[in-house]
């Protein structure tokens, strides 16, 4: 439904977006994932119509919406700081967009009540927004952006200011509410766990560019570049010329390796026994460290050549300091050009 084509934007000298192209399907939740300053908020603002100085195309259902001012787009935007109107009560905040639509009082009242119910804030209508907790504010902000039935909902770090414990649960809850409302949504976050929980598709951004645009599982299993892999917390990334690991990536060199500067050994592609998959290498290592995560181990081992490898395995029948063989699947070795 939404198409962004070659959008570029700069704040003065600083380029914030570079030829960004993305699409969003009807009813889909797209997650813009990336470190702060990667341009994801700017992209949201361009879509919302809040930024007007940019190059490229923004089209909604095939129609160019670039000249359309923000207040006519009917896109909901939930701000990182929630941007609740401090002079209005909870109910009046939620009703704000409805009033702009010119709805009559009664219908506004009904709609506000049903939204309060949906976000779990029944009975707080007349509360002063300043007196709400962070989680409550987040819900009011969500209810407010949902209220006018937006054609597209955008959420900028909606859980950013909440503590980590709440996030996982709230992220799922958010997804539930968006899906229940049948909305298309763009969700901005820097937290991959949140992104996996919410997104139908992920767009990983860095320095104003989209590095990878795919389903969450695909992004995790097959990061498109070293940046994405690193951003997702993977550490087995080595330079192709690194002699310590020359024996780990297998012998076969195909097209994917021409021009490759680095390669990743995916932490899920290593095992303590030869698996069914085609192998790239078998290497003898000494276990440095192991953490039981409940259901699996995160472990670090080093090779005789001095390379350190992180891997995840279901079972780890070795003690720290002991030596063992590690089997690396060919699939787990991915060359990157960056």
Nearer Cβ to another protein (145/212): 145
87 binds another protein (CB under 8 A): yes
The CA distance from 121 to 178, in Å, is 17
> Does residue 70 belong to the site contacting another protein (CB under 8 A)?
yes
What strands lie across the sheet with 14-24, from one edge to the other? Answer: 14-24, 2-11, 55-60, 63-64
Cα(214)–Cα(132) distance, integer angstroms: 37
| The one segment of 44-52, 56-64, 219-227, 292-300 that binds another protein by CB under 8 A | 44-52
> Which range of residues in 72-80, 163-171, 178-186, 244-252 is near another protein by CB under 8 A?
72-80
307 vs 244: CA distance, rounded Å: 6
Which is nearer to another protein, 152 or 245 (by Cβ)?
152
Q: Which residues pair with 2 in a beta bridge?
A: 24, 60
Quick check: 136 binds another protein (CB under 8 A)? no
**Binding status of residue 289 toward another protein by CB under 8 A:** no
Q: Tell me, by CB under 8 A, how many residues bind another protein.
A: 28
97 binds another protein, rule: CB under 8 A = yes
Q: Which 8-state DSSP code applies to residue 65?
A: -
Q: Tell me the residue length of the chain.
A: 338
CB of 83 to another protein, least distance (A): 4
In the complex, the smallest distance separating the C-beta of residue 33 from another protein, rounded to whole angstroms, is 22
Q: Taking Cα atoms as reference points, which of 177, 266, 253 lies closest to residue 221?
A: 266
Q: Which of 12, 36, 63, 86 is in the footprint of another protein by CB under 8 A?
A: 86
* CA–CA distance, 274 with 325 (Å, rounded to integer): 10
Residues with Cβ within 8 Å of 316's Cβ and at least 6 positions away in sequence, in order, are: 272, 287, 290, 297, 299
Figure out which of the listed residues 73, 139, 213, 266 binds another protein, where binding follows CB under 8 A.
73
The binder of another protein chosen from 2, 30, 60, 148 (CB under 8 A): 148
Rounded to the nearest 5 degrees, what angle is found at the Cα of 184, between the Cα atoms of 178 and 188? Answer: 80
- Confirm or reject binding of residue 49 to another protein (CB under 8 A): yes
Is 83 a binder of another protein (CB under 8 A)?
Answer: yes
Q: State both tokens at 271.
A: 């095992």
Q: Which span sits near another protein by CB under 8 A: 71-79, 106-114, 161-169, 187-195?
A: 71-79
313 within 8 A of 297, measured Cβ to Cβ: yes
Q: What is the DSSP letter of 89?
A: B
Give me 82's structure tokens: 């929630």
Using the rule CB under 8 A, is 50 a contact of another protein? yes
DSSP state letters, 140-167:
HHHHHHHTT--SEEEEESTTTTS-HHHH
The residue (of 92 and 298) whose beta carbon lies closer to another protein is 92
Binding test (CB under 8 A) with another protein, winner from 10, 18, 28, 96: 96
Answer yes or no whether residue 158 interacts with another protein by CB under 8 A: no
Min separation Cβ 134 and another protein, Å: 16
The contact set with another protein (CB under 8 A) reads: 45, 48-50, 69-77, 79-81, 83, 85-87, 96-97, 100-101, 144-145, 147-148
């Amino acid at each position: 439904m939404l198409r962004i084509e070659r959008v570029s934007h700069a704040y003065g000298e600083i380029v914030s977006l570079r030829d960004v192209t993305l699409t969003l399907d009807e009813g889909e939740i797209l997650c813009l994932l990336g470190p702060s300053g990667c341009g994801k908020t700017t992209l949201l603002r361009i879509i919302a119509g809040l930024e007007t100085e940019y190059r490229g195309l923004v089209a909604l259902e095939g129609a160019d919406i670039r000249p359309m001012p923000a207040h006519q787009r009917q896109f909901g935007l939930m701000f990182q700081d929630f941007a609740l109107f401090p002079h209005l009560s909870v109910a009046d905040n939620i009703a704000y967009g409805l009033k702009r639509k010119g709805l009559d009082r009664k219908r506004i009242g009904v709609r506000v009540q049903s939204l309060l119910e949906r976000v779990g804030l029944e009975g707080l209508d007349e509360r002063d927004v300043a007196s709400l907790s962070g989680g409550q504010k987040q819900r009011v902000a969500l209810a407010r952006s949902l209220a006018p039935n937006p054609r597209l909902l955008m959420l900028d770090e909606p859980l950013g200011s909440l503590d980590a414990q709440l996030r996982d649960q709230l992220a799922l809850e958010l997804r539930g509410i968006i899906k229940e409302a049948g909305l298309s949504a763009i969700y901005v976050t820097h937290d991959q766990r949140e992104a996996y929980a919410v997104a139908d598709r992920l767009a990983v951004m860095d320095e104003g560019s989209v590095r990878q645009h795919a389903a969450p599982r695909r992004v995790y299993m097959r990061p498109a570049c070293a940046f994405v892999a690193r951003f997702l917390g993977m550490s087995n990334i080595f330079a192709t010329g690194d002699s310590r690991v020359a024996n780990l990536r297998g012998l076969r060199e195909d097209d994917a390796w021409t021009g490759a500067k680095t390669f990743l050994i995916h932490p899920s592609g290593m095992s303590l026994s030869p698996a069914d998959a085609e192998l790239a290498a078998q290497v003898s290592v000494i276990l440095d460290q192991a953490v039981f995560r409940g259901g699996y181990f995160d472990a670090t081992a080093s090779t005789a050549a001095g390379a350190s490898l992180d891997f995840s395995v279901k079972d780890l029948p070795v003690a720290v300091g002991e030596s063992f063989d590690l089997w690396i699947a060919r699939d787990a070795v991915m060359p990157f050009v960056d």
